[in-house]
Amino acid sequence: MDVEIGSNLYRNTDGAVEIEGVPQLMLALRRPGGPLLVNFVLYDNVGRVVAKVVDSTIAFNERRAYELTKLPAGLVLTHVESGKVALQAELKENGRVAVPKGEFLTVKGHLLEISPVEWRVEKRRLSGGDTDLNGGAVVIG
């Protein structure tokens, strides 16, 4: 599966995205062309799970802090109080899975920001990358 995170392309991935050593996001297609299945864990600043998405459905949502909106080709997870997009994921027409936008904490309490032009966590950032992972996971941080 090919995955775009911000402006970075990761070709031939297994769909897992490891952030600071922890598989925090898993993207999968039930069959070519969809539907897109998203598994995602949200942490607070001390590494405690505050929300969990399983197969594109909220399975855990402490204090109902997040709202999940399903789109025809993906989903958007939004923090209710701030209105910020925690994660947006979509299946593109070319079969790639795109994560064009997101803002959430890693298990280590660092802010990961994904924009259409880059991803950034702490002092690390990547923009315009093109990597063949040969069936492995995307590694960020």
Average pLDDT for 61-74:
95
Is 111 a member of any domain? yes
Average pLDDT for 83-108:
96
- Whether the predicted pLDDT of 141 surpasses 90: no
Which own/partner pairs from 36-41 qualify as long-range (CB within 8 Å, at least 24 positions apart)?
36/73, 36/74, 36/75, 36/89, 36/90, 36/91, 36/97, 38/74, 38/75, 38/87, 38/89, 40/77, 40/87
Q: How many domains does the chain have?
A: 1
pLDDT of 33 reads 81
Chain segment 21-58, per-residue pLDDT in tens = 999 999 999 888 879 999 999 999 999 999 999 999 99
Query: Tokens 């898993």 belong to which residue?
Result: 26
Is 135 a member of any domain? no
Is 21 a member of any domain? yes
Is 123 a member of any domain? yes
Is 80 a member of any domain? yes
pLDDT of 42 reads 97
Average pLDDT for 71-90:
97
pLDDT of 30 reads 86
Is 76 a member of any domain? yes
* pLDDT band at residue 11 using 50, 70 and 90 as cut-offs: very high
- Whether the predicted pLDDT of 93 surpasses 90: no
Is 134 a member of any domain? no
Residue 103 structural domain:
3-129
Query: Tokens 């952030």 belong to which residue?
Result: 19
132 C-beta neighbours (distance < 10 Å), count:
12
Query: Tokens 């999968």 belong to which residue?
Result: 28
Is 112 a member of any domain? yes
